[in-house]
Structures are given as C-alpha cells and as structure tokens.
Structure 1
Amino acid sequence: MFKNYLKVAWRNLTKHKVFSFINIMGLAVGLTACFLIFLYVKFEVSYDSFHSKKDRIFRLSTDVKTPSDVMNVAISSWAIGPAIKAEFPEIESCTRVSGDNLLVKRGDVKFQETEALAVDSNFLQVFDYKLAKGNPAEAFKEPWSVVFTESSAKKYFGNENPIGQTVLITGEQKPAKVTGILADMPENTQLKADMFLSMSTYHQERDEMWGNYGAVTYMLLKPGVSAAALNKKFPGFVKRRIGKMEDEMQMHATYILEPLKNLYLHSKREGMETGSITNVYIFSVVAVFILLIACINFVNLTTARATERAKEVGIRKVAGAQKTQLAGQFLGETLLICIAAFLFALLLSGCLLPLFNQLAGKKVSVNIFHNGPEVLLLLVASLGIGLLAGLYPALVLSNFQPIAVLKGRFSSGAKGLILRRGLVVTQFTISICLMVATIIVYKQMNYMNSRDLGFVKDQILVLETRGDEGQEALKNAVASIPGVQSVSLSASVPGGGNSSAYSEIQNQQGAFQVTNLNAYFVDFDFMNQYGMKIIAGRGFSRDFGADTTQAMILNEKAVKRLGFASAKDAVGKHFKQWGREGTIVGVVKDFHFRSLLREIEPLSIRIEPQNCELLSVKVSAKSASKVIAELESKWKVLIPKRPFNYFFLDEYFDKQYRGQKQFGKLFFNFSILAIFISCLGLLGLASYSTLQRTREIGVRKVLGASVSNIVNLLSTEFLKLVLVSFVVAVPLSWFFMHRWLKEFAYRSDIPWWVFAAAGVIAILVTLFTISFQAIKAAVANPVRSLRTE
C-alpha cells in the first residue's frame, strides 16, 4: 500500500512538472530565507556567549554628571576597578581593557596596529580567549609582554615560533617580548584585537587616577552574587573614597554593572561595538512572515490542484477507500514535497551563504554543515510545515462527494473560498508592508548620504602620522605637490573619535560653569580646509600669537548648553580646560563630527599642534592617484619609521553607516523574496479560480463576451483583495517604520507617496502575475469547456 502511495505521488509530481517545480521551489525559497535569517539572528544574539563565566561577567559602566550634562559611557576611571575589587568580597576578579594604536616593527617589517588592546594580567582568567601557544597565567604578568593573534603573528614571524622573540613597539621602539599566541578571535565578540600588551607596561600611577576615564572595566562576580544589590553599594563607596574631590570638581560618577551578555545588543553607551536589537526583532519578524507566506503559497497551490484530482478521489471512494486513507495519502504527498523542498533549501543555503555573509558584513557561518542543530531544526520545520500546510488540502480532497465529482459538479464551498481569499489578503498585507519598509529604509539611507554635514568631506585624504616628529616637515613638503589644494593637522577628523575634556567656561552670568565638552585639537588651517563656518567672533589666525595657547572656539550646541541667548554673547568669555586658560574667540556653526545616528554634541576647538597626529590633504579629483604616489615618496623620506597609511575622509565617514546599509540590503533582498513567494501564491489562487469558472467563462464567451471582458472579470476579484491588503498594510507599516526611524537622531519623514508607490507596485505585480492565467482562460475555445456540461 505504501509503495502504491509513493508511485501515485511520484506520478502526480511528474505529470505536472512545472506546477510541482513552482510548488517545491516556492517552499524551498521560503525555507532558505528563513534559515539564513535564523543564522543571522543566532549570530547577533550569541555575542560573547562562548565565555564559560558569561553569566557572572559584568562591565562597570559610568554615568558622569556635571551641572551642565550627563555622559553615559562604557568606560570608567582607571582607579575605580581595583579599588572596588579590594572593597567588596562579592567580586571574584577585576580586569581592565584599553584600546591602543601601536607601531610594531621587526626588522624591515612594520605595521601600525590599530586594533591593539592593553589588558590586565588576569585578562585570560576572566575571558575564555584561547592561547594557541604560551601560558595564560604568565602571558601578561610582566611589563612589555605582548601577545599576537595567530594571523597577526604571521605578518612578523612567518612560520617561525614567535614565543620568546621580541618586537619593537611605539615611536620610541621599545623592545617587547612575545609571551603568547592567541587563536584568532571569534567574530561574535566585542573585544576584537590583533595584538595585546600587558597593562603593567604603562605607568603604574594609572591605578591612582580617579578622575581620568579611559579603562573598560569588567567585574567577575562570585557565584550567586546579585549585581543589582551590588550596584546599590557603589554610591556610598564612591562618596567615602572621592566624594570631596567630586564635590570640588562638580563632577559626580555613578557606576553601574551591566551584564556582558546584554552589552552588544542592549547597551547604547559610547565606546564599544554595538548591534541593534531592533534590527534583530525586525529580521525575526521578516523570517516568520516569509515562512507564513510560503505556507500560504503552499496551501493555495495545493488546493488549486484539488479540482484536477476530484475524479480520482471519486473513483477511489467508490472502490471503498476511506477518508483517513485518502487524507493520509495526500498528506504523505505533501510531506514528500516538503522533504524535496528541504533538500533544495539546503542546496540554496549552501550556495547563497557566501553572498549572505557579504551582505551581512560579517561571517555569520562558515558553511551550513557547521550548523548541525540548525539544519536539523530546518528539517523539523519542513516536516511541520508539511503537516500544518498540507492538512487543509488533504481534508478538502478527501471530503469530495463521489457522486458529485463523477458527474462533474464539485466545488470546495464558500468556506474554502473565504479561507483562500483571506490567505491572499494576509500575503499581500505582509508584502505591501515590506514594500513600504524597503522604500523608507532606502529613503533614510539617501537622507543620511545627502544631508548637509556642515563641513566638506570630498577629495580629502587623511594620513596617519601619529604625531611623528617629521609631521610638520611633511606638511610643508606636501603643500608644494601639484594637485594639492590645502593641508592641515589635527588630532581628530569628522567620523572618528575625539577627546572628552573637563572644562570650566564662563556662562551668561559670568560664573565658571563645569561641563564636559568634546574636544578637537587642530592647527590654523584645519577649519578653513574643512569649510566650517564661523557665525560669531572670528576663526583662528596666525595674526594673533595668543591663539596657540589662549584661544577656543565653541560650536552652537556648546553655546546653548552654557545658557547664552546668542552665539555672539559667548565671544570674549573665559575658559579653563586641561591646564589651559584663555578666551572664547569665536563660535562655529554646528557640524556633524559624528554620524547622523546621534545628535550633534557640544564641542570645543583649540590650537594644539603637539597633540595632532592626522594630516588632512585636500586634492583635486583629476590628480588624486599622482598625488598619492608623491605623498608616499615624501613620506618614506620624512617619516621613515612608520608605514604609509591613509584613507579618504568621505569613505571613512560613511563607514559609520555600514550597519544601516547592510540592514537595508538584507531587508531589500528578503522583501523581494517575500513578494516573489506571494506572487506564487497568487498564481495558485488565479489558477484555482480559473478552473472553477471554466464553464462560466465558456458561457460568457458564447453570449458575446470579449477577451478584455473576461480578463477584467478575473482580474477585478484579485485587485479587490489587494486593495483590502493595502488598507490593512498602511497603518501597520507606518506604525512600525515610525518606531524604526526613532533610532536616528536625524531622520527623513514618511510622506504619503511611499504608501501610494507600494500600492501601485502591488497592483502591477498582481496584474502581471494573474494576466497569464486570465488571458489563457479568455482565449480558450468555449466548446471544450462546455462539452462536458
């Protein structure tokens, strides 16, 4: 019996090859999309989950409050970690991490290691990063101990054993001993680095720096200790230890333990790589939607075939077949299709995974066979879909009345029609929502790319001199290169990091107001080169000798924070910042020195060449390649100790939106897949409807109906369903995309035409999908359809 069922199933599949292919591939595409999204979501939520002590590791984050502002940062003061560890027995261990940028040399090989970390000696006892070579307990014990990852070690040592050998680091070329080789770090970790340097290498007075914030501090709590209870004890401790100092500085810190497992997706603090829990939720919903659409599509296509097998059912029932036997057979056929779809989904997933990794901007998986449990889950999902989605068609087919179907009078009834229409409405509601969302995502990306940033970023080349003693000579030499329009030095450029400076500035009432300001250190040429506009007072000028030590420029946000009614009121006020005192000489128009994801913050700008380590070179578009070659030539002569590293500012600035752009690309591709599967479902219903109305169409044609009349008749029914979907989709899509846009400090609006465009696209897609079936039915010979009546 079972063998016979398989034969019948195979014959039906091969008899209608195109129909079977569409049915299988529609489900396979849905399963593939869902599987890839699942891998992405699993990867995002797995950040730092490989640490065995992850549930007990917490980051000590800080809220720094002054009379003017509150900063929420991921870092803490250098001294607080060890002091808290010594005070509270609930804490098992404390380890600190600090990012660094180091020049590393070995013989003629030299690299600027931008991804370097200084770590405490117990770093590898808290975190489970594995040493391929070396002793974890000894690796960071001594000053000037360095650990490379396996891939970075090959740059300096090739196939040699690096353990015990030395490299020269920093501008002073101090010898550092290689004490370990770390297995390349997994991508799903926040603490990414190519090399590590022992924290004891740096000055030990850091442990007494209560007011200097630069360390990312992690606490390993003892088993059973409540982080919430420990948080409540910190304010009293801080007040006892440094309460007087904080009162004098008018700067008070509140320390908070944040769980390691929540940092990547849930923490919004500055200073660490973060993901978006909103994007994870969105993609999870999209996966569910795609799977739902695939199931609906599967039901519609299978039901559309039901009428073609009605006579088969009638004959088998007359021959004595029971309902359960018929339902079991048709359900088995459905499961067979699902298994075939599962195999195609595996093949598609394997082929598309490299492209998916590229779109996601990260390697979410090496290959599908590294995800055994996920593949098994995909198989279970396929079988589950077969049971759930195949149940209704199986019941429809097995319930046909033999007398009616053998006489040619059969219909699935009003309930079946309502269900199928409801399924199509659901499909196109989802599809229209995804269309609207895709348009809004791309509109926001275009808005960020085209918004006036308040400075010029095009055709600016930035060289990383890192404060080398030859940078001033290089600047003078570069200025004479043909094609170079201007040159300047600075400590920061828009889109990069900058210092946060404790400042005291006279406010409207003449009193010194304490505040934390972002700080740019520049030379005299920087602001002119970047096209920044002075709206009050003046810019820096070599005509004023005191500008090198006693002048500051504020942006508009800083002026507002200090309470000035207008920008010109701030000019002439006095400031104190990092041991310097002087006068505010001008106010610059706000510019986006960080991404549009964040609001513009208060900023101070000072002339301080000794802190500058970036050389900005504005070049003409036509001579860029020649200028770069000449720059490298002069670099090798004037800064021979360092590798020639540069980047274009526009590309550097736009990297801040990499996550959003990748989100947009993924969203667009999955939206297209969802719409494609929806079209297959619509094709199924169009096919079913056409078969049900074959005789009606024949009668209408005999009575004189034209081809256009028949096409309009069949199309109108589906267009009504799309219009219902549109009415439902508009408020839903507006609500969810309005919430998504709130993640951006500067965002585009949601105009009416976005919904209109999605509606028009849906109508055109509907007409295109059903036109083939409608025209085929309209041009068919009515005699053939009426012959059996």
Structure 2
Amino acid sequence: MLKNYIKIAWRNIWKTKGFSTINILGLAVGMTACFLIALYVNFERSYDRYHSKADRIYRLVCDIKTPTETINANITSGPMAMYAAKDLPEIENFARLLPNSLLIRKDNIKYQESKLFFADSTLFQLFDFPMVAGNPATALKEPFSVVLSESAAKKYFGKEDPMGKSLLLTDDSFNSKVTGVIKDIPENSQFKGDVFVSMVTLIKMANFKFDEQWGNFGFTSYVLTKPNTDPSLLTTKFPAFLTSRVGKEMDQMKMHYSLFLEPLKEVYLYSKRGGFESGNINNVYIFAIVALFILLIACINFINLSTARAIERAKEVGIRKVVGAYRMQITRQFISESVLICLLAFIISLLLCLVLIPYFNYLAGKEISGGIFFHPIYIIILFLLACLIGLLAGIYPALVLSSFKPVTVLKGKFSSNAKGLLLRKTLVIVQFVVSIALIAGTLIVHRQLGYMRNQNLGFNKEQMLVLQTNGDAKSRILKDAVASVPGVLSNSVSGAVPGGENPVAYSEIENKQGDMQIANLPVYFVDYNYIPLYKIKLVAGRIFSPDFGTDTAQAMILNESAVKLFGYSKPEDAIGKKYSQWGSEGKIIGVIKDFHFKSLQSKIEPLSMRYGQGNGGGLVSIKIEGQHINAALQAIERKWHDIIPNRPFEYFFADEFFDRQYRAENRFGGLFLNFAVLAIFISCLGLFGLVSYNTTQRYREIGIRKVLGASVSTIVQLLSIDFLQLVCISILVASPLMWFFMSKWLADFAYHIDISWWIFAIAGSIAVGIALVVITSLTIKAAMENPVKSLRSE
C-alpha cells in the first residue's frame, strides 16, 4: 500500500512540475536558512562551555569607585584573585591572564606576537586546553617558561620537536624555554592565545611585583569555586575581604573596590563589561527569531499551495470514494504526497548547506562549522522537521476533501469555501508581515552602520598611516627619518591613536571649588605635532609646544568632557588649574574639543593628554598624500628595515583601524541582509504560486470579461487588487512591530539614528513593488490570452 501511495504521489508531483518546484524550492531554501542560523546561534551560545569545570569557573571583575565616578572594569589588579583564593575557602583555585605583544625570535625567524599572554601556572588546571607535550601542572611554573599552540610551534620550529628548545623574548633577548605544546584553542573561546609565558617571568623581565600592587590593574582573573558553592553568598564576602587586605589603602586613595563574579558560560554573551572577545545576546535572539520567521514563511508557502491545489483534486477524490476507497486511505494518500515533497526539500536543503557553509563562515567572520556532517543531530532534527511540516500540510486538505460526498463532488458543485480562502489570505498577510519587517530591519541596520562609518568623529583619519613599533627605543629616530620620504606631509609619535587601547591613570585635578578631585582618566601620551596632525580642534588655551620647556613634564591637556567632570562650565576656566597624575605634577594648558577616541557604541569619556611616548606605545602616525600612498609605503618600509632591522614591519591605516571596532556589527548587518533576501525570495515564490493558481482558477472568467469588452489593464487591476490589499495590511502590522524590536537593538549604541517613518514607507514600497512585479507578470500573460481557448469547453 505504501508503495502505491508513493507511486501516485510521484505522478502527481511530476504532473504539476511548476507548482511542485516552487513548493520544494521554497521549503528547501527555508530549511537551509533555518539550519545555518541554528548553527550560528548554537555556536555563539557554546563559547567556553566545553571546559569540564565551566560550571564552577567565574571571571572576577571589579568596580572602581572614586568621588567622581564608578568604573565597571572587566579586569582586576594582580593580588585580588590570589589573595581571594587564600582567604576565602569557597575558592579552590585561580588563574590570571595578562595580554601582551612581544617580539619573539628564533634564529632568523622573528614575529611580533599579538596573541601572547602571561599566565599563571594554574591556567591548565582551570581550563581544558589539551597538552600534546609537557606537564600541564608545571609547564608555566618556572620563569621564562613558554607554552606554544601547535600552530605557533610549527611556525617557529617546523617539524622539529620544540620541547626544551629556546626562544628569545623582546629586544633584551631574554632566553626562554619551551615547556609545553597545547592543541590550538577552539574558535569558541574568549581568549585565543598562541604563546603563553609564565607569569613569574614578569618579575625577572621588568621587576614587576604584581602580587603586591593592589592599584595596578590589567589582569583578567578567573576563580574556580569548590563544588556546590553558591556564588551569590561568596560575593557577599568580598567587601570584608577587601577591607581586611587593602582597606586603609582604599581610604587613603579615596578609591574603593567592589568585586563580583561572572559565570564563565555567560561572559561572552551577557557581560556588559567586555573582554578579550564579546558577543551580543540581542543579536543571537534576533537571528533566532529570523530563523523561525523564514521557516514560517516557507511553511506558509507550502501549506498555501498545498491547500489551494487540493481543490483541483476534488473529482479525483470523488471517483476514489465511488470505487470503494475509505476516508483513511485518501487521508494517507494526501499526507504521503506532502511528506514526500518535504523529504525532497530536505535532501535539496542538505546539498545547499553543504555548498553554502564555507560562504556562511566567511560572512560570520569565524569558522562556525567545518561542514554539515559535523552536526548529525541537526540533520536528524531537520529530517524530523521536514516530516512534521509534511504531516501538518497534508492533514488539512486530506481531512477536508475526504469528508465530501462523492455525488456532490462529481456534479461539480464543490468549490473552495470561505474558510479556506480566509486561511490562505491570513497566511499571505503573515508572510508579508515577516518580509516587510525584515526589509525594514535591514534598512535600519545598514543605516546605523553607515551612520557610524560617516559620523564626524572630531578628528581626521584619512590617508593616515600608523607604524606600530611596539615601544622600540628608535621610534622617534624612525619618525624623523620618514619625514623626508616623498609624499609624507606630516607625522607624529604617540602612545595611542583613536580606536586603540589606552592606559587609564589615577589622577587628581583641581576642580571648580579648588579641591583636588580624584578621577581615573584615560591618558594619551603625544608629541608636539599630534593634535594638529589629527586635526583635533582646540577650544581653549594652547597645545604642547617646544617653546615651553615645562611642557614635556608639567603640562596637561583635557577634553571638554573632562572639563565638565571637574565642574567647569567654560573650557577656558580650566586653564592654569593644577593636576597630579602618575607621579607628574603641573598645570592644565589647553582644552580640546571632544572627539570619538572609542566607537560610537560608547559615550565620549573624559580624556587627558600629556607629552611623551608613554608606556612604550611607539606609534608613528604619518599623513600621506593620496596619490603617493604605495610609493611612500615602500620607501617607509626601507627606512624601517634600516633603523629597526630586528623587528618585522608592522603598520595599519587609521581609518581601517578605527572601523575594526564595528566588525561585529558589520558581520551582523551582512548576515541580516542575506537572510532578509532569502525571506523575500521565499515570499516571492509563494506569491508567484498563489497568483498563478488564482489566475488558473479564473481562466474562464477572464475569457468572458474579454469577450464582454474588458481591457487588459482592467483585468490586471481586477486580479491584482486582492493581493495588494493583503500587502497593505501587512505593512500596517509589520511597521510598529519592527519599530519596537529595532529600537531595542539601537539602544546598545550610545550614538544612533532615529527610526523615521519613511524607513517603513520604503520597506512597504519595496514589498508592494515586488508583489506588483510578480502579480502583473502573471496576470498580463493571462489577460492577453485568446478568450476562445478558455471558452472552448463552455
């Protein structure tokens, strides 16, 4: 019997190849999109969940409160995690990471390692980074011990066994020994290191006694709690712990700390403090909803076309019942046909996923999946989903048609009832609500991204080349040397550039009341030419100048936000006020206009500037004429190799560097656009099928109207008006819904666009335009047919 059902089902599919193709293709594309988005959502949610102790690992974070502000930091000072593990019995172990960038050399091989961490010897006891060589308990215990990833080991040693071999660290050529090799850290990890250097190495290299400096922040700290520990109860013990350990120091500095625990599994998606790598749970939710919407559209298409076409088979059902078919047999026949179509869609979907996963990885900017067969559970779910859709889509026509009396059907008195028509109209409205919402969402996302890229940032970053010398002592010599390169207009050396990391300094600034007000201020160390080079506007006072000898040690410039922080209503009121910062004391000499030195996702913060290279930054900014960029770059590289031959040539352009902050948003926008296009494509397929069916059903009506004198335009209008009404209703429903959801998304940006009414007008117009193209292309063809053909049988 089953064989007979499948044979008849296949004949019916082949008989109506056009409708069947639309049905199968639409559902296959919907399944594919849903499958890919499911991979993305699952990948984003999988960050750091593969560690066996992940349920007990927490990131230790700190709020730093001064009389002026509270900084919600994602880092701690060196002693905090170590002494917490000693004093609080609930903590079983701890590990700290300090990111850095070091020059590493082996023979003639040299790399500036940016994926380098100083790490405690306990790192591999907390995290599951499998070692392929070495002892995880002792690999990072001794000074100048280095653990490499497999990729780094291959980079430095090729096919040689790296264990016990030497690497030189930094310009001072500290000799280190490879004590371990780990497998490459998975993509779904917050920190991805290629080189781990023992934490105690810092003491030998820089005499950095980090375990005693409570006010020196920069460490990312993790603690492992004992089984069954309640993290909320542990958090209540932190205030007393800090008071006992560093209470007097906090009172003296008027800087108080509060410690909190963030579950490792939640840091990537849920933490508002940022970190090595951060995701956005709202984006994950949005994509999950988009996946459901796309699948919903595909199912609506399938159900719409299946129920609409079922009417054509009313006489077939009547004949079957006359010759003795039972109602259950007819029901099984329709369901088997529906399931067969869905299984064909499932097979095509697997093939599409196989082809599209590499492209999807490219769009996402990370390897979400190595291939479809890496996810057997997803394939099984997709298969079951196909069967379920086929079952649901087949039940309605099967039950309706099998319930009619054969006499009524064979006399031709059966026709589509009002309920069936209402169902199809409702489904079309839902379909276009989703499509219009996605069009509007795409417009809003790309308008926000364009706003961020084109916003006046308050500084000039065009044709600005930046050399990264990583604090090399010869960076100023290099700066002077490149000034003579043809095409170089101006240059400067500094410790930071907009869009990059900059140190935060404990500062005391004389406020409006004459008191020395404490604040933690980001600080840019710059030279005389930095402010004019980047065209940062001066609003009061003056900039650093070689004409004033005290500027190199006793001068500071603030931005407008910093001036407001200390109570001054006018920038000029801050000129001449005293400051104390990192052992330097002097006066405020100038105030610059606020500029976006961070992304537009955060508000402009107070900023200080002082003369000097600062913290070994060594960034040489070079303004180059647009038509001479390539030639100038080659000449600059030659100067680099002459002056700093021991370092690899590193550079970036300031505009690209600043825009890197928006990589996650750009990827989100690209993915959103692609899936919106898929949703619209599926909607068009469904609309094409329904319009084609509707036109076929009214074939004779069109012929009669033409005989009676109706024009082609009149017939097109008649056939189009019903569908266009449904699209207009969809616009009214979709607009407020998308306004609500996209307002929530935009709330993550400190600076964002306003959602204007015309965005929804454009989205609606696009939907109407697409619908008109589909409708008119089919109705014009029907309206121009010779009426004799349609009336021949009457």
> TM-score normalized by structure 1?
0.98
Pairwise mapping of residues 383-422 of structure 1 onto structure 2 (< 5 A)? 383-422=387-426
Pairwise mapping of residues 477-488 of structure 1 onto structure 2 (< 5 A)? 477-488=481-492
Instruction: Choose which of 522, 547, 550 in structure 1 pairs with 2:551.
Output: 547
Post-superposition shift, 1:50?
A: 0.5
Pairwise mapping of residues 614-629 of structure 1 onto structure 2 (< 5 A)? 614-629=619-634
Look up the SS of the partner of 2:543 in the other structure.
Answer: coil
Residue 146 of structure 1 corresponds to 146
Change over 3 Å in CA distance of 1:401–1:723 after alignment to 2? farther
Instruction: Choose which of 581, 585, 608 in structure 2 pairs with 1:581.
Output: 585
Residue 86 of structure 1 corresponds to 86
Instruction: Choose which of 713, 716, 719 in structure 2 pairs with 1:708.
Output: 713
Could you tell me which amino acid in structure 1 is paired with residue 696 of structure 2? L
Residue 48 of structure 1 corresponds to 48
Pairwise mapping of residues 173-572 of structure 1 onto structure 2 (< 5 A)? 173-203=173-203, 205-572=209-576
Per-residue CA deviations over 1:224-279 (Å, capped at 9, x if unaligned) read: 00000000110111112211111111111100011000000000114431000000
Say if 1:72 and 1:270, in contact at 8 Å, map to a contact too: no
Post-superposition shift, 1:744?
A: 0.7
Post-superposition shift, 1:684?
A: 2.6
Structure 2 distance, partners of 1:584, 1:551, is 6
Per-residue CA deviations over 1:76-118 (Å, capped at 9, x if unaligned) read: 1111111111111111101111101110000110000011011
Per-residue CA deviations over 1:465-488 (Å, capped at 9, x if unaligned) read: 122122121111111111111111
Say if 1:73 and 1:271, in contact at 8 Å, map to a contact too: no
Per-residue CA deviations over 1:200-233 (Å, capped at 9, x if unaligned) read: 1112621111111111110100000000000011
Pairwise mapping of residues 687-766 of structure 1 onto structure 2 (< 5 A)? 687-766=692-771
Structure 1 distance, partners of 2:401, 2:626, is 70
**Deviation larger for 601-610 or 48-57:** 601-610
Pairwise mapping of residues 158-173 of structure 1 onto structure 2 (< 5 A)? 158-173=158-173
Could you tell me which amino acid in structure 2 is paired with residue 543 of structure 1? D
Residue 115 of structure 1 corresponds to 115
Post-superposition shift, 1:182?
A: 1.3
Aligned-residue CA RMSD in angstroms?
1.3
Structure 2 distance, partners of 1:119, 1:647, is 28
Residue 773 of structure 1 corresponds to 778
**Percent same amino acid at aligned positions?**
55
Could you tell me which amino acid in structure 2 is paired with residue 372 of structure 1? P
Structure 1 distance, partners of 2:209, 2:503, is 21
Could you tell me which amino acid in structure 2 is paired with residue 521 of structure 1? F
Post-superposition shift, 1:69?
A: 0.7
2:49 is the alignment partner of 1:28: no
Could you tell me which amino acid in structure 2 is paired with residue 179 of structure 1? T
Say if 2:700 and 2:791, in contact at 8 Å, map to a contact too: yes
Look up the SS of the partner of 2:236 in the other structure.
Answer: helix
2:659 is the alignment partner of 1:654: yes
Post-superposition shift, 1:767?
A: 1.0
Post-superposition shift, 1:610?
A: 5.3
Per-residue CA deviations over 1:702-746 (Å, capped at 9, x if unaligned) read: 322222111110100001001110111111111111111111111
Per-residue CA deviations over 1:627-675 (Å, capped at 9, x if unaligned) read: 1111111111111121111111111111110110111111011001111
> TM-score normalized by structure 2?
0.98
Per-residue CA deviations over 1:282-333 (Å, capped at 9, x if unaligned) read: 0000000000000000011212322332221121111121221111111111
Per-residue CA deviations over 1:665-697 (Å, capped at 9, x if unaligned) read: 110110011111111222232233223333333
Runs of 4+ residues over 6 Å off in structure 1: none
Could you tell me which amino acid in structure 2 is paired with residue 344 of structure 1? I
Say if 1:396 and 1:412, in contact at 8 Å, map to a contact too: no
Structure 1 distance, partners of 2:732, 2:745, is 21
Post-superposition shift, 1:400?
A: 4.2
Residue 690 of structure 2 corresponds to 685
Unaligned runs of 5+ residues in structure 2 are none
Structure 1 distance, partners of 2:408, 2:707, is 26
Structure 2 distance, partners of 1:448, 1:69, is 27
Say if 2:22 and 2:689, in contact at 8 Å, map to a contact too: no
Could you tell me which amino acid in structure 2 is paired with residue 733 of structure 1? M
Per-residue CA deviations over 1:450-504 (Å, capped at 9, x if unaligned) read: 1001111111111111221221211111111111111111111111100011100
Look up the SS of the partner of 1:404 in the other structure.
Answer: helix
Residue 639 of structure 2 corresponds to 634
Say if 1:304 and 1:684, in contact at 8 Å, map to a contact too: no
Say if 2:22 and 2:686, in contact at 8 Å, map to a contact too: no
Post-superposition shift, 1:386?
A: 1.3
Structure 1 distance, partners of 2:790, 2:488, is 80
Post-superposition shift, 1:143?
A: 0.6
Change over 3 Å in CA distance of 1:236–1:696 after alignment to 2? same
Could you tell me which amino acid in structure 2 is paired with residue 26 of structure 1? G
Structure 2 distance, partners of 1:763, 1:450, is 31
Unaligned runs of 5+ residues in structure 1 are none
Could you tell me which amino acid in structure 2 is paired with residue 678 of structure 1? S
Task: Provide the aligned length of Structure 1 versus Structure 2.
Answer: 789
Say if 2:640 and 2:649, in contact at 8 Å, map to a contact too: yes
Say if 2:306 and 2:393, in contact at 8 Å, map to a contact too: no
Say if 1:303 and 1:688, in contact at 8 Å, map to a contact too: no
Structure 2 distance, partners of 1:394, 1:774, is 30
Say if 1:78 and 1:208, in contact at 8 Å, map to a contact too: yes
Post-superposition shift, 1:787?
A: 4.8
Say if 1:420 and 1:685, in contact at 8 Å, map to a contact too: no
Post-superposition shift, 1:786?
A: 4.0
Say if 1:306 and 1:396, in contact at 8 Å, map to a contact too: no
Look up the SS of the partner of 1:744 in the other structure.
Answer: coil
Could you tell me which amino acid in structure 1 is paired with residue 681 of structure 2? F
Structure 1 distance, partners of 2:489, 2:398, is 75
Structure 2 distance, partners of 1:171, 1:202, is 15
Post-superposition shift, 1:771?
A: 1.9
Say if 1:506 and 1:574, in contact at 8 Å, map to a contact too: yes
Change over 3 Å in CA distance of 1:784–1:313 after alignment to 2? farther
Say if 1:463 and 1:614, in contact at 8 Å, map to a contact too: yes
Say if 2:495 and 2:614, in contact at 8 Å, map to a contact too: no
